[in-house]
Structure 1
Amino acid sequence: MISKIVTKLTFIMLFFCTFQMLGQEKKFSGDPDSSFKTARELAFNKQRKQAQDTLLFILTKYPDYHDIREFLGTTYSWDEDYKKAGKEFAYILGKDSKRKSTWIAAIKNELWANMPFIALKMSNDALEIFPNDPEILTLKASAYEKSENPLEAMSTIQLVLNQNPDNQEAKDYKINLNKTLSQNTVGINSSVDIYSDTFNPMQYYSFKYGRQTKYGSIIAKVNLNRRFDENGAQYEVDLYPKITKGLYAYVNFGLANSFLFPDMRYGAELYKSLPKSFEVSLGFRTLKYATSTTNIYTGSVGWYNGNNYWSFRPYLTPGDTGTSKSGNLIFRRYRSDANNYLELSAGMGYSPENNQNNISGNLAPIVDLKSQKFNAGYYFSSHNKQNNWGTQFGITHQEKSFDQGSYFWIYTIGLTWELKFK
């Protein structure tokens, strides 16, 4: 009996040992250059799976044969397996950051994967190693174009032509970019606030015309409000002048002749790009009413993390009863470009910059109102990128200015539309 048990146990152990040995992959032992050549021929003859198996087998013995790993990553890109491709390119650049061909392959991989913000960051990283390289600058221009920043794309490709006026690829790219570059925009924003009690729905409309120039963008707006059974209009101009590389400004000026708006508003803010995909800003807004003037100090910290964007903006509003503080946190998840994204935001505190429904007609007493809000929006563009749409929904829990300590709910629904044209 015991001998039978021993025999069975021996058989089981031999079975598992044999299975394990068969499952272990042997290391490559042939000529890597010859096998690499064969793998390339297989890949170009639409036998990529066999080619990839061969390349992976070579890498079991020569893991740092970067030409082989780079070609493996490229075949993954061809198969639209962009994550696997990115891992192979990242491995190579971690070993040798001065391989220009790998940088180019890695940036192309992100562009093909519709990850323009990652491609843009990688282009900037590569240009620190290869300053003013025309191939990398052309890829950077493509990243700007895919992220809906055609003016930066044009400026970047012009850098290539300034240094290499006979660069045919850059010349062709500029011609195509000129065909698709839309410098003018018209748009309509509409939204409604629905109150849980006390007030009738409040309606907001904005009509705008914008133009991109080499100095920055200009936007003219007409804002129409229907609130407290009254109608009012405000006229605004927004400027976004470029100062130097990585530094631009926001300038605003507006006029109105209705108690629904400040008689005059103006403001300015400076934005500065920082390393690691950060951006900071600092500025102010001023709202002038017939009997009072309110100054609001603000700024922001923004961070691009791949196709994600985070931003925090505080507001400080000095008043007779102290300084009111509020803040807003925004998250965006970009899809194919800067006009296609999901946005979520949450905020606390009351700021006259964001809460312009001046209920009492005297702004000073209500800057310390308590408020909490949450907003969600989805923005998308048409196939030809000329039309952009957006939908928004928000909910706010706000203290009543005439009965502090009591609150009402405000439900906001909004729609936006833009048309781009030459």
Structure 2
Amino acid sequence: MILKKITKLPLLLVFAVVLQMQAQKKPYNGNPDTSFETARKLAFNDQRKQAQDTLVNILTKYPNYSDIRTFLATTYAWDGNYKKARKEFAYVIKNDAKSHENWVAAIKNESWSNSYYDAITMADNALKVSPDDAEILLLKASALENTTKQIEALEIVEAILEKNPNDTKAQEYKASLNQTLRKNTVGLRSSVDIYSDVFDPMQYHTLKLSRLTKYGSVIAKVNFNRRFNENGTQFEVDLYPRIIKGLYAYMNFGVSDSFLFPDIRYGAELYKSLPHSLELSLGFRSLQYTTTTNIYTGSLGWYTGNNYWSVRPYLTPGDGGLSTSGTLNYRRYRSNADNYWSTTVSMGFSPEIYQFKVDNNENTIVNLQSQRFNLGYYFTTNKNRNAWGAQFDITHQEISFDPGSYFWIYSFTVSWDLRFK
């Protein structure tokens, strides 16, 4: 008798599930406004699953009831189901691109999911519809702050206050930015290369001081290198001037009186933001030893959610013909642009990447074969005041004076930046 009851129990459960599925498939025939109000009460009383079931049911008959779909998307965002929320927001924005509430909720969803670059892109699209929307401008500023573009965020807030000095939200956000904005950075970076053959370990150290201005970043560096039982020093300056919206440049100049570095190095590159969170760049580098090596490069980067992909080729003309190489980089961001994992794969030899991993025979280095894998982890502490980094490289490289023979290079790097006002 007990066995019969046990065998009947699964059948009852299956029967109950079938009835529930049939009930869910039953067309909605109620009053959408009344049901919507009921769903809102459920959602605000921590019964979001029941609220979402009700909202989905209403939408089976009224798919373009945008307030219901927006609220459904918002509940998904509250639950951390940002992908589902993104799909629903995309639907309502496509059908009503002029709705301020839809844009605001959709941008918040991207920021809550730490997809700050997508939030910026979405805010730009919203501002095409409403260029002076202060709330959307503040959301964009917040996303920019989380991508370490605090100066741009501050400029947006100041523009809001210029038009409306009594905007309390903008006033509060500006005060918050000014408290946390650190325009100066001092940093240290140290690396060691360990060779499987031929060479003793080599060391590289960099001390830098940078200043963030409204025109862009200025970085002064002192590089110290110990190789072949010799020491060498190089002085460098990097500039990242902002030209116009969506266009900025990289410029570099360095000098040294040590054979361990180029006598002079310089370079420049232009970066242009493109639609769909893409970024394109074109530039060159020049390294002057006893002869000059010119390197032509560029990059295509793509921000998608918390991910960043970048591909960069290097073209180096030389006596032996044109040398080609390239790198593929992937980053997985966490809370902001200073917290991420990074992986890089490189093929071919470029003096720009490997300028220290050679024996200074600049006439042959561009023809070397090399493969490299890099893994990095970067994080911040003390309210983003300290930025830390650790990298591990493994390189399989052809020996310049013994073509066809290779050694392995194992590299370890640590870095630390301290930001201050």
Q: 1:230 deviation in Å?
A: 0.6
Structure 2: how far apart are the matches of 1:278 and 1:78? 29
Structure 1 residues 194 and 19: alpha-carbon distance in aligned structure 2, compared to 1, 3 A threshold: closer
Instruction: Give the structure 2 partner of residue 340 of structure 1.
Output: 339
Instruction: Give the structure 2 partner of residue 384 of structure 1.
Output: 383
Deviations 1:332-351 (A, max 9, x none): 11111111111111111111
Structure 1: how far apart are the matches of 2:358 and 2:391? 24
Deviations 1:348-398 (A, max 9, x none): 111111111374444123221111111111111115111111111111111
Deviations 1:73-95 (A, max 9, x none): 22233333333322322222233
Instruction: Give the structure 2 partner of residue 173 of structure 1.
Output: 173
Deviates more, 1:398-407 or 1:95-104: 95-104
Structure 1 residues 359 and 58: alpha-carbon distance in aligned structure 2, compared to 1, 3 A threshold: closer
Equivalent pair of 2:114/2:334 in contact (CA under 8 Å): yes
Q: Which runs of 5+ in 2 are unaligned?
A: 1-10
The letter for the 1-side match of 2:124 is N
Instruction: Give the structure 2 partner of residue 288 of structure 1.
Output: 288
Equivalent pair of 1:386/1:420 in contact (CA under 8 Å): yes
Structure 1 residues 202 and 281: alpha-carbon distance in aligned structure 2, compared to 1, 3 A threshold: same
Structure 1 residues 96 and 192: alpha-carbon distance in aligned structure 2, compared to 1, 3 A threshold: same
Instruction: Give the structure 1 partner of residue 34 of structure 2.
Output: 34
Report matched runs for 1:260-275 at 5 Å: 260-275=260-275
Deviates more, 1:251-260 or 1:116-125: 116-125
Q: Secondary structure at the match of 2:276?
A: helix
Structure 2: how far apart are the matches of 1:359 and 1:270? 29
Structure 2-normalised TM-score?
A: 0.91
Equivalent pair of 1:248/1:272 in contact (CA under 8 Å): yes
Instruction: Give the structure 2 partner of residue 249 of structure 1.
Output: 249
Aligned residues, how many?
408
Equivalent pair of 1:76/1:84 in contact (CA under 8 Å): yes
Q: 1:17 deviation in Å?
A: 12
Q: 1:236 deviation in Å?
A: 0.5
Q: 1:250 deviation in Å?
A: 0.7
Report matched runs for 1:340-419 at 5 Å: 340-357=339-356, 359-419=358-418
Instruction: Give the structure 2 partner of residue 230 of structure 1.
Output: 230
Equivalent pair of 2:397/2:406 in contact (CA under 8 Å): yes
Structure 2: how far apart are the matches of 1:57 and 1:278? 38
The letter for the 2-side match of 1:85 is A
RMSD: 2.2
Overall identity of the aligned pairs, in %:
61
Equivalent pair of 1:147/1:336 in contact (CA under 8 Å): no
Structure 1 residues 360 and 36: alpha-carbon distance in aligned structure 2, compared to 1, 3 A threshold: closer
Report matched runs for 1:119-268 at 5 Å: 119-268=119-268
Instruction: Give the structure 2 partner of residue 3 of structure 1.
Output: none
Structure 2: how far apart are the matches of 1:108 and 1:260? 50
Structure 1: how far apart are the matches of 2:42 and 2:202? 66
Instruction: Give the structure 1 partner of residue 310 of structure 2.
Output: 311
Deviations 1:219-262 (A, max 9, x none): 01111111001111111010000111011111111111111001
Structure 1: how far apart are the matches of 2:419 and 2:391? 21
Structure 1: how far apart are the matches of 2:109 and 2:138? 14
Instruction: Give the structure 2 partner of residue 330 of structure 1.
Output: 329
Structure 1: how far apart are the matches of 2:17 and 2:267? 77
Structure 1 residues 157 and 69: alpha-carbon distance in aligned structure 2, compared to 1, 3 A threshold: same
Q: 1:175 deviation in Å?
A: 0.9
Structure 1-normalised TM-score?
A: 0.91
Q: Secondary structure at the match of 2:311?
A: strand
Structure 1 residues 68 and 200: alpha-carbon distance in aligned structure 2, compared to 1, 3 A threshold: same
Q: Secondary structure at the match of 2:351?
A: coil
